[in-house]
Amino acid sequence: MKYTSIILVIFLFFTSCQQVIDIDLNEGDPYLVVEANITDMPGPYRVTLSRSVNFDDYNIFPPVDNATIVISDMFGNADTLTHLDSGKYKTTFIQGIENSTYYLSIQTPTDTVNANCYMPAKVPFDSVSYTLINWFGNTRYLLTPHFNDPPEPGNYYRFVLYKNGKKRNSLYVFNDVGVNGMANSRSFLAGGSIDHGDTIDVEMQCIEKRIYDYYFSLNQTTGSLLLQSATPSNPISNLQGNRVLGYFNACTSHKITVILQ
């Protein structure tokens, strides 16, 4: 009888602690999603606008085609972008230059968004090496970009992969904390299906700290390049506006091509 009472008390304790938890997945008015880039390579540069969807909706993101977008620079040049289609816009004449600040302005009937971004100095990108490794029973390519971090601290890098000319949705960002002024020896796995004989372009971007923070927090939040759902925790952004997601990235760019053997 004594043990029966103890078991009954334990059962009542655990059943009384159960409760229904209602998680707020930020449903409601959609966010404006901005993907804006300017580099030191010849333009035109692209801006893509869309609307977010609720967390449990299908990943079909409505494009925004009724925006006025201007990218300007610290020298007084202002370029009003031309609308292409499906939420895509392109510049006409502005040229990205390292060690310069750029400004983004977006106006729609319901949104006003502004941002600025500094394009850091370009760090020379020397080469890319690779090796095959066993990764949880699968053979994967490990890529190592080779460059020398400058002696001044505070450098941030993003690496973008292209397989046979198509961009991969993979996220690799580095900073120079603990390795300032040293030759890079950090590697990363080539994500997805990459095989012997594939042509891989590795793009090295030198980015501002706020862009590094955006991509780092995006990776922590979603584990992917851009999940356009309104999630419980949205990534850090350098965009200023109401209900806006995304980024404005002014960066240097250098690509190196390798054919995997």
Token pair 């409601």 is at which residue?
A: 28
pLDDT at 193: 78
Helix (H, G, I), strand (E, B) or coil at 68: strand
199, 261 contact by CB (below 8 A): no
Q: pLDDT higher for 15 or 84?
A: 84
CA distance 125 to 146: 6
pLDDT at 45: 98
Token pair 């993907």 is at which residue?
A: 35
Q: How far apart are the first and last CA of the chain?
A: 74
Instruction: Please state whether the predicted TM-score (pTM) of the whole model is above 0.85.
Output: no
CB environment 73-102: b (16+ within 10 A), e (fewer): beeeeebebebeeebbbebeebbbebebeb
> Token digits for 142?
């490990």
The residue type of 157 is Y
What confidence category does residue 221 fall into, taking pLDDT thresholds of 50, 70 and 90? Answer: low
Which domains can be identified in the chain, with CATH numbers? Answer: 125-223+254-259 (2.60.40)
Instruction: Give 19-60 pLDDT, tens digit per residue.
Output: 333 334 445 678 999 999 999 999 999 999 999 876 555 556
What confidence category does residue 16 fall into, taking pLDDT thresholds of 50, 70 and 90? Answer: very low
Q: Residues 42, 256, 180, 225: what is their CA dihedral angle, to the nearest 10 degrees?
A: 80
CA distance 248 to 250: 7
